Amino acid sequence: MIDKLAELNRVLLAVKELRASDGVADIEVVIEYCQNTVIEARIPNHQLNIEFAGQIGLLLIVDNALKLTDDGLGFIELNPSPQYDLSEEQKRVLLRTCYLHGALRKEAMAILKVFSPGLGTDVFRWALYDSPPLPYEWTAEHLSQLGLLERRDDGWEVRGDYTKTVAEFLEEGEGWSEESFREYFQEKQEVGKLGENLVKAYEVSRLLGMGRAVEARCVRQISNLRVNAGYDIESFDSSSPAMAYDRFIEVKSARGRKLKFYWSDNEIKIATKLGKRYWIYFQGAIDVAKGVARDHPILVNDPVNSILGSGSKFKTTPQGLVVESDEKGKPISA
């Protein structure tokens, strides 16, 4: 595994500089270019750095050809100088999209699970002499470079502003995979998956419109990871310096325009727990053939109060509620 995450900038900038008109760069040329750029008197393993960039989705590697992915291009944009060291925005994106979820989530979960709150505090610590063995030690170094961990004389400590983020990450657990719930996903309708994709795009656009580019890049769908979570998408209300999700969205989708959906007991339970951080986005007027929706989604915040306490019509079922209303989403063309 690579020693220094800042090497990602050297590799990605080299690919950008050397790519041909089709966006492809030769791997040997990129490695030679990087070797001629000495930083901090270090000569790292550039082949390893390239492979790591491919592992986390910043580079597409095919034989001896390298190409920046959309995520890779976006990552470079967060380093406008350009500089060798990671920018704060790059650190936040890597932390959320690669370690707290993404390619290295398993390693981050394994290492943070052996941390424990200090006596009388909420600070998460790992101590050399009285904590379980530390797996994936390179992950601790990476999380330190990204600002989540700080080294102490006897071990590691989670930075105070990331305490809540880590606590919520650990509460997620390993998650339930798509394979574990194959039967559940077989029941998912095509319109439901499309609705989730459309709502995620809506969330990204909403945050970009607020000038929150980093948060927009970190919006994620979790329906394939934890189908029992009680919601489908994790997002942000606005700015989140510690990258802690604070908007949890259950997506309801339909071909029709009128608001109508089934609300399960588990979803109601999670909505009750999360309160004003929980949202239902009803995405109606979906055209499956074209992969689009004709209406903007209807956004319902704190539905335990705004729906259960409203005058909307309900049909009770043994498992939950069927929520109905004459409300329609605003046409996108309007």
Quick one: DSSP state of residue 288? T
* Per-residue pLDDT at 187: 38
DSSP class per residue in 134-151? -S-HHHHHHHHHTTSEEE
| Predicted confidence (pLDDT) per residue in 94-138, tens digit | 999 999 988 899 899 999 989 887 655 678 899 888 788 888 889
Same domain, 102 and 220: no
Cα–Cα distance measured from residue 309 to residue 14, given in angstroms and rounded to the nearest whole number = 58
Same domain, 159 and 284: no
Among the candidates 65, 86, 107, a domain finishes at 86
Same domain, 194 and 301: yes
Is residue 63 a part of any domain in this protein?
yes
* Per-residue pLDDT at 43: 73
Same domain, 188 and 317: yes
Same domain, 245 and 323: yes
Is residue 250 a part of any domain in this protein?
yes
Is residue 194 a part of any domain in this protein?
yes
Domain enclosing residue 59, as ranges: 7-86
| Predicted confidence (pLDDT) per residue in 181-196, tens digit | 444 344 356 788 899 9
Same domain, 45 and 114: no
Is residue 283 a part of any domain in this protein?
yes
Output the domain CATH number for residue 202: 3.40.1350.10
Is residue 1 a part of any domain in this protein?
no
* Number of residues assigned to the chain: 334
Which two structure tokens, joined as six digits, stand for 115? 């941390």
Cα–Cα distance measured from residue 60 to residue 70, given in angstroms and rounded to the nearest whole number = 10
Among the candidates 138, 154, 172, a domain finishes at 172
Cα–Cα distance measured from residue 171 to residue 241, given in angstroms and rounded to the nearest whole number = 20
Taking the complete model, does pTM exceed 0.75, yes or no?
no
Contact indicator for 198, 283 with CB cutoff of 8 Å:
yes
Same domain, 193 and 241: yes
Cα–Cα distance measured from residue 271 to residue 275, given in angstroms and rounded to the nearest whole number = 6
Is residue 37 a part of any domain in this protein?
yes
Among the candidates 172, 190, 210, a domain finishes at 172
Same domain, 72 and 114: no
Is residue 103 a part of any domain in this protein?
yes
Cα–Cα distance measured from residue 304 to residue 110, given in angstroms and rounded to the nearest whole number = 35
Instruction: Give the burial string for 64-78 (b: 16+ CB within 10 Å, else e).
Output: eebbbeebbebbbeb
* Per-residue pLDDT at 96: 93
Using left for φ > 0, alpha for ψ between -120 and 50, and beta otherwise, residue 120 falls in: left
Quick one: DSSP state of residue 26? E
The domain tally of the chain equals 3
Helix (H, G, I), strand (E, B) or coil at 283: strand
Is residue 177 a part of any domain in this protein?
no
Largest CA distance in the chain: 70
- Residues in the chain with pLDDT values less than 70: 38, 40-42, 118-121, 173-189, 227, 310-320, 334
Same domain, 211 and 254: yes
Same domain, 106 and 156: yes
Question: In sequence order, what are the beta bridge partners of 299?
Answer: 281
Same domain, 225 and 111: no
Burial degree of 144 (CB within 10 A; 0-12, 13-18, 19+)? middle
- Element (DSSP H or E) covering residue 315: strand 313-316
Which two structure tokens, joined as six digits, stand for 265? 């007991």
Listed in sequence order, the residues at least 6 apart from 89 whose beta carbon sits closer than 8 Å to its beta carbon are 78, 79, 213, 214
Output the domain CATH number for residue 51: 1.10.10.10
Same domain, 163 and 39: no
